[in-house]
Chains A and B, each alone.
Chain A
Amino acid sequence: MGKHLFLGDEAIAQAAIDAGLSGVYAYPGTPSTEITEYIQNSATAGERGIHSRWSVNEKTALEAALGMSYAGKRALCCMKHVGLNVAADCFMNAAMSGIHGGLIILTADDPSMHSSQNEQDNRVLGNFAMIPILEPSSQQEAYDMTYEGFGLSEKLGYPILMRITTRMAHSRAGVETRPPREQNPLHFPEDGKQRFILLPALARKRFKALLAAQDSFIRESETSLYNTYFDAPDKTLGILTTGIAFNYLSENYPGGFQHPVLKICQYPLPRKQIERLAGDCGAILVLEEGYPVVEEQLKGFLGRGISIHGRLDGTLRREGELTPDSVGKALGKDVNSYYSVPEIVVQRPPALCTGCGHRDVYEALNEVINTYQGAKVFSDIGCYTLGALPPFRAIDSCIDMGASITMAKGAADAGAFPAVCVIGDSTFTHSGMTGLLDCVNEQTPVTIIISDNETTGMTGGQDSAGTGRLEAICEGIGVAPGHIRVMIPLKKNYEEMKRIIREEIEYKGVSVLIPRRECIQTLKRKHPAKK
């Protein structure tokens, strides 16, 4: 107990430990990674035997977390926003079965796409699954909500979706912690067979139960301490904030609010408070981080007769994260910048590290590929995606984890040649293996390069699930051993690398090339003296 300087991510991790967590299940992804890392590094978590090893992907993570909950214990499952797409099947159906031990599913959304392919707002998925959502406005709330959230989940019998965004995940502030609680004992649900076997006849009952539970979820929101009404004199406008938008609003009113404010951090929307705001005020401004989720709901909720402003009517930009400035502007305030950015300042995009093996892979690959007309290189998500930028400009796609292999397959099916793909080792085990089996089953002519740096590099060097076993995995899936070819991506090996790449492109079947050299960042960490 006491006051600590915590990132939002760390506050959530410590709160989960203190709340009697038995296991965290996760696959790395910015900005959620530090939650699991904190638990992995926590001495208390170690002593308490809390499970914290990385899962292969978000789907396996959520299923394991649900299994732990089934066994009566408290589980946390963390992912970046796009991870919930991968876990969506389990996510939607866990809302049907409900839970036993408290289950919090944490999604870290990334509006403005600081490190992501999209800025999807997972409150939409939370509403889709019809489960309660928590969205803290401060690091302290992140701690408190997590600490209490497992109990809330157990009380309601459903998983809780906790949604944070980049600025909450990666901002530090003082946090007061609470006394630790014991873990739940192993105990199975008495009505387990009624709830967890979603055969149609039983699933229909479960869906009715989920619909009926909505009232209890709304009541929780209406009585939640995290949903607060602040009255104020000027009722021409009422302001509704969600999550951290409240902070940006407060920043603009250091002397206190002029208009009534409804701060919402727990969903489903608290009807009573919303009706009060709509009854009191002539118009409503909605400030929310992400999609206009509440704004759209209000339109349906309140019908006509009150004007609603937000991202849909252009009061705020439709895309991008909120800032104190964008919120100020929506309130009619001026932003006073004295200086502007001098014209000489240029972009400084991220780049592959000097000495990184992915560089050598692209150097060699480009030389071969340039000799083929119409060659396409389908790539994937990881450090090697930076091969899209100069000087390499080596890849043609990056969509979602695993899509390189399957897109190369589809393109090859369509007649594209050569259809090459570049995927990282962690991405391969995350979602590439199943696509490889598709290729093997049809002997599709694709050349798959698993650029193996023996770590999950992009997110900071976490363990990679298949390290040391990639050849065996590919062989097990059915790739001919003679077409699984390992090489060491170094300048001195370019001629050999180029020869192998060309041979395998010319082979009319599935080949897997594995250029393998350890990530220089993890290498440096192991031998700091060699810097």
Chain B
Amino acid sequence: MKTDIILSGVGGQGILSIAAVIGEAALKEGLYMKQSEVHGMSQRGGDVQSHLRLSDHPIASDLIPRGQADLIISLEPMESLRYLPYLKKEGWVVTNAQAYVNIPDYPGMESIRAELDKLIRKVVLDVENLAKEAGSARAANIVMLGAATPFLGIEYTRIEEGIRTVFRRKGEEVVALNLKALRAGFGAARQLTDGNQ
């Protein structure tokens, strides 16, 4: 088993929480893991990315070589495109559909949509809306994680355990809210990809 994942988004959107949950789940699964993250300057509203590598064999590099990622999980559609050179031909892109516009020259949504349409395997979801519908508006990142779960190579229940571990400190309510968000994302992605794997 080996899953190489690029996580991307804009500073402050919460990609590191996604990484933390997957990391805990991987640890429980007894997998090797390396996860390189971005701190510092770019967290101020700049583009951020994290390389997350899971394997049942020891992992050498903290960074994923280009053309080898199995999966891009992105909380922002343009940011999902920025890291395409890392993706394998048959890799999946799981991305939020809603743009985060904090720059004056953000490209038109149609052109982003057109680029996403060119991809062979993708899941494009409005996770903010899904999060609102699920009654957990602040857990859009976990909805995203739910949508990506079918592609991680880790059981859904393990990811649930990861959520319990990561959010335990914040209380039962927060755990429950995030579990709900996870399910919402998982269900939505399943609907989109049925028979398309």
Contacts and interface: CB of A to CB of B under 8 A. Distances in A.
Interface in A226-240: none
B27 interface: yes
Contact of A250 (B23, B40, B44, B61): B61
Given A114-B42, A172-B35, A351-B44, A344 B115 contact: yes
Contacts of B119: 339
Interface stretch (A87-95, A323-331, A409-417): A323-331
A344 B107 contact: yes
A349 B43 CA distance: 10
Contacts of A350: 11, 41-46
Interface in B59-93: 59-67, 78-79, 81-82, 84-89
A174 B32 contact: yes
B16 to A, nearest CB: 10
A529 to B, nearest CB: 12
Given A114-B42, A115-B40, A350-B11, A325 B35 contact: no
Nearest to B64: A324
A359 interface: no
A341 interface: yes
Nearest to B100: A348
A92 to B, nearest CB: 28
B63 A349 contact: no
Contacts of A33: 39
A348 B44 CA distance: 10
Interface in A332-347: 335-342, 344-347
B82 A335 contact: no
Interface residues of B, number: 50
B158 interface: no
A170 B37 contact: yes
Contact of A170 (B23, B24, B38, B82): B38
Contacts of B63: 167, 248, 323-324
A338 B89 contact: yes
Interface in B73-124: 78-79, 81-82, 84-89, 102-107, 111-112, 115, 119
B7 interface: no
A296 interface: no
Contact of A341 (B64, B65, B85, B89): B85
Contacts of B60: 247-248, 250-251, 254
Given A251-B61, A325-B65, A31 B39 contact: yes
Contacts of A124: none
Interface string B132-172: 00000000000000000000000000000000000000000
Given A174-B32, A383-B44, A337 B107 contact: no
A351 B115 contact: no
Contacts of B46: 348-351
A186 interface: no
A332 to B, nearest CB: 15
Nearest to B78: A345
B189 interface: no
Contacts of A168: 62
Contact of A458 (B41, B105, B115): B41
Contacts of B43: 350
Contacts, number: 145
A348 B66 contact: no
Interface residues of A, number: 50
A342 B87 contact: no
B85 A339 contact: yes
A320 to B, nearest CB: 13
Given A5-B23, A338-B87, A459 B40 contact: yes
B135 to A, nearest CB: 17
A30 interface: yes
B35 A171 contact: yes
A7 B35 CA distance: 9
Contacts of B106: 346
Given A174-B27, A350-B11, A351-B46, A337 B85 contact: yes
Contacts of A473: none
B36 interface: yes
B74 to A, nearest CB: 12
A173 interface: yes
Contact of B45 (A335, A346, A351): A351
A459 B44 CA distance: 10
A459 B43 CA distance: 10
B47 interface: yes
A5 B34 CA distance: 9
Contacts of A383: 44
A336 B64 CA distance: 13
A350 B11 CA distance: 8
Contacts of B103: 346-349
B120 to A, nearest CB: 9
A7 B66 CA distance: 23
A384 to B, nearest CB: 11
A380 B79 CA distance: 30
Contacts of B37: 7, 170-172
Contacts of A3: 27
B188 interface: no
A144 interface: no
A345 B44 contact: no
Contacts of A306: none
B66 A335 contact: yes
A247 B61 contact: yes
Nearest to A390: B104
Given A337-B66, A348-B103, A114 B61 contact: no
A341 B47 CA distance: 14
A323 B85 CA distance: 14
A244 interface: yes
A502 to B, nearest CB: 30
Contact of B41 (A115, A174, A323, A347): A115
8 contacts: A168-B62, A173-B35, A174-B33, A247-B61, A339-B87, A344-B81, A348-B46, A350-B11
Given A172-B23, A338-B88, A344-B81, 17 more contacts: A5-B24, A30-B41, A115-B42, A254-B60, A324-B65, A325-B65, A336-B67, A337-B67, A337-B85, A341-B84, A341-B85, A344-B107, A346-B105, A350-B45, A351-B46, A352-B44, A458-B40
For the complex of A and B, list the 8 residue pairs with the smallest distance between their C-beta atoms, beginning with the closest. Answer: A115-B40, A30-B40, A350-B46, A250-B60, A339-B84, A350-B44, A171-B36, A251-B61
